[in-house]
Structure 1
Amino acid sequence: MSVREHLEGIFREQEDLDLTSGGIVKPLFYLSIPLIITNVLQTAYNVVDTAWLGRYGTTEVAAISFAFPLIFLLISFAMGLSVAGSVLVAQYVGANREGEAEYAASQTVAFSMLASIAIGLAGYPFVDDVLRLFDAEPEIIAAAAEYLRIYALGLVFVFGFFMFISLMRGYGDTVTPMLIMFVTVVINVILDPLLIFGVGPFPEMGIAGASLATIFSRAITLAIGLWIMLRGHRGVRIRLSQMVPDPSYGLKLLRIGLPASFEGSSRALTITLLLFVVATFSEPVIAGYGIGTRVLSVIVLPAIALSQGVETMTGQNIGAGEVDRAAETNRIAGWTLFLVLTAAGLLTTLVAEPVVSIFTTDPAVVDVGSSFLYYVAPTFGLFGAMYAHLGGFRGVGMTMTAAGVVIVAFGLVQFPFAWYASSEWGPTGIWLSFAVSHFVGATVAIGLFRRGTWRSKGVAGVARRRGPPVDVDAESTVEGDSADDD
């Protein structure tokens, strides 16, 4: 069988996938496995940049470390708008309201591009001022600013690509974005050394070359994504006539999307704030913390991917009026992640020292990193159960609730606990803060889900959608949306 025939077979199976009837396990994992691969490929983007810049110079590697937190905040906002579009599209697809789904997708594309252009142009003049807040060496700040200025001007391509992935997910297609993400990584891998070092006809651009390679590869893949959506052959369809910005729809996207942005950024912000606590200890503790959180980030990938799959299935089932099926999807995903990640966590504690030794040969760092895993790894399953239910909240449109759970678990519990406990028990107090936050997050998320507020909200949304379909060519606003948060 040729590669083309194999890919066509994958696509045909994807099109036959029914998210609102039949079994739950197969469609849920069929959605989630490509999402895991997509997330891994996204991580590869950063690894490739760091690897090539590491060969170019130490200053450039340090500059990337300072640029990344700002980039992550921008990406979090992009992901928020994308989640809003994905939720609306999933609910309309589940309700068999293709016209509204197309309108939601078209408006999401329009507002994502407008927002990215506005943010990029507004942020461009202040790049240097923001970076100076880190109080790093001038040459590092200069290099980071060079990277970020190019990134700001090309932000529309970054936002646009995340928007494409989310809209495709809302329709239930996660294979196509995975393949296009792979193309993106390949282009970036090829362009990075050419532009950084100046190979052949290309000039030597250093860190600016890495930024330009990223933006160019995103632009190419966004063009492919827009072509796919304009044709409408892969589920998602956008129409130029429906991309005229509708202010009321823009407010709806912000109302759903901003809490999702807070959810994404607050977790990373907490990890960053914990550095202030960790920095009060010795260098081996700092290094061990870095390795421990890196291992944790690997565990986060399947949890977030399955959470996104739950989000899509919940949205489509709410739209179809299958509220009990949406609840069962969350229950299955929650238990699956809890059991699988708990087993993975317990296994990690048994091989903690060999795992940490992959990253370092320093016995002191190995000891600290292993200690981190002994306390944190057994609670991986709690983290997974929490994120599975957060996907359910997002699928209903309760993005504020999902964000609230994350803020409570990591902002109000983990950071204060780490600050106090570290003064009493040393680094062990920091490791315990992870375990405590995972327990609190899982307990709160599951407790809120079992209260059933999301169920009444979903039923109300379904009732509103049972009216006559809206002619989106004649009216600019789609009525009967259930994705407004409490």
Structure 2
Amino acid sequence: MSIPIGLGMVVQTLYYLVDLYFVGALGDVALAGVSAAGNLTFLVIALTQILNVGTVALISQAVGKKDKADANLVFNQSLLLSMLLGVITLIGGYLFAEPYLRTIAADEATVSAGKEYLFWFIPNLALQFALVAMGAALRGTGIVKPTMIVQMLSVLVNMILAPVLIAGWGTGKPMGVAGAGLASSIAALFAVVVLWFYFHKLEKYVYFDASKFLPQWQVWKKVLSIGLPAGGEFLLMFVYMGVIYWTIRDFGSAAQAGFGLGSRIMQSIFLPALAIAFAVPAVVGQNYGAQLADRVRETFKSAAIIIAMLMGGLSLLCIINPSIFLTPFTKEPEVILVASDFLRLIAFNFIPSGLIFVCSGVFQGVGNTWPALISTGTRLLTFAIPAIWVSRQVGFEIEEIWYLSIVTVIFQMVFSLVLVRRELNRRLVF
């Protein structure tokens, strides 16, 4: 399952890398603005995770129990929730984008670039809920290839539109950062339409059923009880990234652009680990639903070993030569310097972060995501308070934030492993 999921995530990440490539040519202010605005993606991921995790867990467990009717009910209720959350995101995005940017951006020019980008990018964020609901339903049944293919097609649309809209290729009317947001939104709309067509014509296990499209509060309660803690986990990541942007804003737009670029590259590097971790909930959930305790434990063990090996190799590459990932996106020396230092140090987080992802996948599969939220919460507390204090001291250097991140991620890894062992010992007694 991990290979198609990984390919789909690589394709999804190309949304951002294509934008970064063309936006980087507009200068460090434009790059800083888009990067700061792009941090809102973590907030939307937090909301989509509510649907994603709850839907995958409930459908995979229903599949393990061979209860097709229950799986289909969860799917249709998940779609209903996706529409509600999409509307909330659309309204909230336009209302609160500017206050958010003014809190973290280095200067007025960065705020202006971020606003211009978000105005056209917010529809993309709203459409993610429908994509996640349909993709999660398929993943819960063990099907991942259709989602990957749709993502590949949508990124192709984005890659065609980005230079046309951002740089004005063929039109002579460049939109700049606004074009980057618009290209992503059009591509997301295309993906929703194609995936809907797949469900309408080809998918048989879960399908659209108008009779199950009225609110079923008991199903919503189950989805939210599993999904909310996982959504809270990503919400804390949004706060975590916001704290970093706030603590380094006095270093100027070049520093924020360097961190924004470095963090996007880091997210791309994490894709192999995330692909494996995203396959874990469905495999664990189906075996947990079938009451096969040994297979649940073996899934966790296998995923942890594979992730540690993959992330170890990627860590070495970043430590030895981080600039190899950066030069395609910017030629600004200050931006490259900050991003290189960030990747070289943050590479020590790769293995611990990968193991944290596996632990979260296990929690999702057994239907209890509170331990993952507690784990992320402890990391935020141990990072945010010291980071804010350090940033106010005389002689503060930006590298101190990266060192603090390393220490707190290692602590979170140990805590997550302890919680997983406790959870499996409690739940795998049938």
So what's the TM-score if we normalise by structure 1? 0.75
Q: Look up the match of 2:413.
A: 442
Q: Look up the match of 1:170.
A: 140
1:381 to 331, 351, 355: 351
Counterpart secondary structure, 2:39: helix
* CA contact 2:106–2:249 (8 Å) conserved in 1: no
Q: In the alignment, is residue 242 of structure 1 matched against residue 209 of structure 2?
A: no
> What whole-Å deviation, never above 9, does each CA across 1:13-46 have from its counterpart, x for those lacking one?
xxxxxxxxxxxxxxxxxx1122222222222112
Query: Structure 1 residues 344, 105: closer, same or farther in 2, change over 3 A?
Result: same
* CA contact 1:356–1:369 (8 Å) conserved in 2: no
The one-letter code matched in structure 2 to 1:328 is: E
How many matched pairs?
427
Distance 1:106 1:262 in 2: 23
Farther-moved stretch of structure 1 (42-51 vs 116-125): 116-125
Counterpart secondary structure, 2:203: coil
Q: In the alignment, is residue 83 of structure 1 matched against residue 53 of structure 2?
A: yes
Listed as ranges, the matches of 1:263-278 within 5 Å are 263-278=233-248
**Structure 1 unaligned residues grouped into runs of 5+:** 1-30, 461-486
Listed as ranges, the matches of 1:203-352 within 5 Å are 206-233=176-203, 235-279=205-249, 293-294=263-264, 296-346=266-316, 348-349=318-319, 351-352=320-321
Counterpart secondary structure, 2:270: helix
Q: In the alignment, is residue 412 of structure 1 matched against residue 408 of structure 2?
A: no
Distance 1:36 1:184 in 2: 16
How far residue 209 of structure 1 moved from its aligned partner, in angstroms, is: 4.0
Q: In the alignment, is residue 117 of structure 1 matched against residue 87 of structure 2?
A: yes
Distance 2:17 2:37 in 1: 14
Q: Provide the aligned C-alpha RMSD in A.
A: 3.6
Farther-moved stretch of structure 1 (338-347 vs 359-368): 359-368
Distance 1:285 1:131 in 2: 16
Distance 2:123 2:370 in 1: 30
Counterpart secondary structure, 1:172: coil
Higher Cα radius of gyration: 1
* CA contact 1:117–1:155 (8 Å) conserved in 2: no
The one-letter code matched in structure 2 to 1:415 is: A
Distance 1:195 1:281 in 2: 31
The one-letter code matched in structure 2 to 1:450 is: R
**Structure 2 unaligned residues grouped into runs of 5+:** none
Query: Structure 1 residues 165, 413: closer, same or farther in 2, change over 3 A?
Result: same
1:393 to 328, 351, 363: 363
Query: Structure 1 residues 454, 240: closer, same or farther in 2, change over 3 A?
Result: farther
* CA contact 2:166–2:179 (8 Å) conserved in 1: yes
Distance 1:366 1:60 in 2: 15
Q: Look up the match of 2:152.
A: 182
The one-letter code matched in structure 2 to 1:87 is: A
Distance 2:254 2:122 in 1: 36
* CA contact 2:284–2:365 (8 Å) conserved in 1: yes
> What whole-Å deviation, never above 9, does each CA across 1:266-287 have from its counterpart, x for those lacking one?
2243133123444566999777
Distance 2:22 2:344 in 1: 34
Farther-moved stretch of structure 1 (189-198 vs 312-321): 189-198
Farther-moved stretch of structure 1 (49-58 vs 385-394): 49-58
* CA contact 2:35–2:260 (8 Å) conserved in 1: no
1:98 to 51, 68, 91: 68
The one-letter code matched in structure 2 to 1:64 is: V
Distance 2:95 2:327 in 1: 42
Distance 1:82 1:65 in 2: 25
Query: Structure 1 residues 391, 40: closer, same or farther in 2, change over 3 A?
Result: same
Distance 2:219 2:116 in 1: 36
Counterpart secondary structure, 2:197: helix
So what's the TM-score if we normalise by structure 2? 0.84
